[in-house]
Amino acid sequence: MKTLLCNQEAARLKALHQYHILDTSPEQVFDDLVFLAAQTCAAPIAIINFVDAQRQWFKAKVGIDVQEMPIVGFCPICVHKGQVLIIPDTLADEEFAHSPVVTGEPFVRFYAGIPLIVGSEQAIGTLCVVDRVPREINDQQVEALLAISRLIVKQIELRQDISVIAQDITQKQQLENQFLRAQRMESIGTLASGIAHDLNNVLSPILMSVQLLQSTYRDQRSSQILKILENNAKRGANLVKQVLSFARGMEGDRTVIQIKHLILEMKQIIEQTFPKSIVISTEIQSNLWHVSGDSTQLHQVLMNLCLNARDAMPKSGHLQIAAHNIDIDEHYAKMHIEAKVGSYIVLSISDTGLGIKNELIDRIFEPFFTTKEFGKGTGLGLSTVMGIVKGHGGFITVSSILNQGTTFKVFLPAVLTATTQQVEELENKSGYGEWILVVDDEPAVRDITQASLEDNNYKAITASDGIEALAIYAQNKDKISAAIIDMMMPTMDGATTISTLQKMNPRLSIIAVSGLTTSEQLPINQKSGVTAFLPKPYTAQELLKTLHTVINSTVHK
């Protein structure tokens, strides 16, 4: 029996709490209804009372100053019985004569209570009228109180319906905002691809021109200038690659990387671009281990975290980039759910900025979540960082103190080998007089490619689009050994040009080139007839090596 009563009370309290009405602010409609109840019965005291587990809480009241009372008195009895409770004279009733609310404040002598029964048939409170003198109540007054109690229940349920609708609207608005943001990011990605293609067409002739000039101008001053030009052109190419990496989620080749070089490069960039009021320092362990990763993506991680640090210090501050080795044991791994036992590089980015509130720490890596003003952040920076770090088998932690600063720590698995990455010195692969068809709508790319080929003992014929290329090939079919074809051209695109050339000669070696950086973004597959893919911008050495490889592969077929 006791268990049954407990279950019933639990169900009643659940019904009460689902309306979220306890401890809410006064509302005029409830004040009007309780006033109407007092006037109907000519009673000095009237209350709309909700009975919780340990207290009675008054939503609206007339003639009494307190906001809540302990679980004593008449309303809890009315609620548990679920029936109208009328006591004309409390002192004349042995059950109630010694109640604390009869012998003390508010000195109840007359009580009439109507249970507030909601849709689940649970009594969650009462509408009651009280007097300090004995009295009677007629049937019309009881009916009026019942009618008022029904209005109160309707108002409670209407209040909940409005709350649910408001929550639903809010959720739909949030989803719509996320969709619009995602749509915007997709548009940015498309725009980025187009810009990347155009920029790579600009950078390709610069890189190849530099290498042609290096063979002509060998004095120290010229070599220095040309080296600066080459390095900056390559940096521009890397920046384009980073834009595409963000926009398209590209995954580059994994190589053995020394994090020290990335940090020093990043320091150089931010010292030139960040406000001078921000002091920048580095602290790198001397025998720092290597990591296996994509240098472009790790560069993006560093850049995003440094930009966040900059934004957290609008006036001034100190930004430190540090790196050191750490061996994670089982004890440490148990304290950090994403950590695994092993050797790691810890990359730390610390600032002395505004800090992050504790309640926001767990949300900052969510896509589209941002603490910045509307229009000043996409909410994708840290989620991108998280994705890259996890993709490298690592994890990231963050600690922050308001108005003191924030530290992000990126843990990347170390490569514990003494072998460092050997950069292969590319040698120019000269030709033997082979005819090469160069097809590109960019005059600068065509001209410098032709010059590079002819400077290395090839015969180059150029075409500005696919239609012209087909006409030239038809006239020189027996002479042309290979074709270098841009995939993005007006009139006739690269894919159509390649398909038609393959029908004319299935054995023709074809190198597809594009500023979209990866062949995965182009209509290239095993059946397309493409022998090799060369992303723009490319150097003369890369072009010559690729051309040498495809011509030899055709000869040995």
- Give the pLDDT confidence of 252-288 residue by residue, as tens digits: 567 899 999 999 988 988 888 899 999 999 999 989 9
Mean pLDDT of the chain: 82
276 sits in the region (left: phi over 0; alpha: psi -120 to 50; else beta) called alpha
Residue 371: the pLDDT is 56
Using CA atoms, how far apart are residues 34 and 152, in angstroms rounded to an integer? 9
Please state which of the four CATH numbers 3.20.20.370, 3.40.190.10, 3.20.20.80, 3.30.565.10 is assigned to the domain occupying 259-415: 3.30.565.10
Using CA atoms, how far apart are residues 29 and 50, in angstroms rounded to an integer? 16
CB-CB contact of 499 with 483 (8 Å): no
Mean per-residue pLDDT, 288-301: 88
156: which 2 tokens? 């409670």
Which H or E element spans position 141? helix 139-216
Smallest Cα–Cα separation from 342: which of 443, 412, 262?
412
Is a pLDDT exceeding 80 seen at residue 147? yes
Q: Which regions of 52-202 does DSSP assign to beta strands (E)?
A: 56-62, 68-69, 85-87, 110-117, 123-131
Residue 3: the pLDDT is 44
CB-CB contact of 305 with 408 (8 Å): yes
Domain covering 2-137: architecture: 2-Layer Sandwich (3.30)
**Bond preceding residue 537 cis, omega within 30 of 0:** yes
Query: What b/e sequence results for 326-353 when a residue is b if at least 16 CB atoms lie within 10 Å of its CB, and e otherwise?
Result: bebeeeeeeeeeebeeeebbbbbbbbbb
Mean per-residue pLDDT, 418-440: 67
Which residues, other chains included, contact 17 with Cβ-Cβ below 8 Å and sequence gap of 6+? none
Mean per-residue pLDDT, 122-146: 94
- Beta-bridge partner residues of 411: 346, 395
Summarize pLDDT for 387-400 with one digit per residue, the tens.
788 888 898 888 88
Is a pLDDT exceeding 90 seen at residue 131? yes
- Beta-bridge partner residues of 485: 439, 512
Q: Identical fold at 2-137 and 435-555?
A: no
Using CA atoms, how far apart are residues 546 and 533, in angstroms rounded to an integer? 9
Using CA atoms, how far apart are residues 82 and 102, in angstroms rounded to an integer? 22
Lowest mean pLDDT among 335-339, 347-351, 463-467, 538-542: 335-339
Using CA atoms, how far apart are residues 266 and 299, in angstroms rounded to an integer? 8
Which H or E element spans position 460? strand 459-463
* Strands ordered across the beta sheet of 459-463: 459-463, 435-439, 480-486, 509-514, 532-535
Lowest mean pLDDT among 173-182, 250-259, 447-456: 173-182
Smallest Cα–Cα separation from 34: which of 110, 89, 114, 90?
114
423: confidence class by pLDDT, cuts 50, 70, 90: very low
Mean per-residue pLDDT, 494-500: 92
Is a pLDDT exceeding 50 seen at residue 105? yes
- Beta-bridge partner residues of 282: 321
Please give the CATH topology (third level) of the domain spanning 435-555: Rossmann fold (3.40.50)
Of all residues in the chain, the percent with pLDDT exceeding 70 is 81
Other residues' Cβ atoms within 10 Å of the Cβ of residue 239: 15
CB-CB contact of 178 with 506 (8 Å): no
Which H or E element spans position 462? strand 459-463
Other residues' Cβ atoms within 10 Å of the Cβ of residue 56: 22
Is a pLDDT exceeding 60 seen at residue 171? yes
CB-CB contact of 435 with 481 (8 Å): yes
Using CA atoms, how far apart are residues 513 and 384, in angstroms rounded to an integer? 29
Torsion sign across C-alpha atoms 36, 39, 42, 44: positive
In order, the DSSP letters of 224-239 are HHHHHHHHHHHHHHHH
Residue 421: the pLDDT is 39
Residue 428: the pLDDT is 59
Lowest mean pLDDT among 24-38, 409-423, 463-477: 409-423
Summarize pLDDT for 299-325 with one digit per residue, the tens.
888 988 999 899 889 889 999 999 999
Interhelix angle 295-311/220-248, rounded to 10 degrees, is 80
Which residue shows structure tokens 């004095």? 219
Torsion sign across C-alpha atoms 35, 41, 47, 51: negative
187: confidence class by pLDDT, cuts 50, 70, 90: low
Smallest Cα–Cα separation from 282: which of 318, 327, 257?
318
Residue 124: the pLDDT is 93
Summarize pLDDT for 498-534 with one digit per residue, the tens.
999 999 999 899 999 987 655 544 555 544 578 888 8
Lowest mean pLDDT among 50-64, 102-116, 162-176, 347-361: 162-176
Residue 245: the pLDDT is 57
Residue 98: the pLDDT is 87
Is a pLDDT exceeding 60 seen at residue 293? yes
Summarize pLDDT for 339-384 with one digit per residue, the tens.
888 999 999 999 999 888 877 777 777 655 565 554 444 445 677 7
Domain map of the chain by residue range? 2-137, 259-415, 435-555
Q: Are strands 480-486 and 123-131 parallel, antiparallel or unpaired?
A: unpaired
Smallest Cα–Cα separation from 27: which of 162, 221, 204?
162
In terms of pLDDT, which residue wins out, 106 or 362? Answer: 106
Is a pLDDT exceeding 80 seen at residue 246? no
Residue 253: the pLDDT is 60
357: which 2 tokens? 């509130």
Report helix, strand or coil for 274.
coil
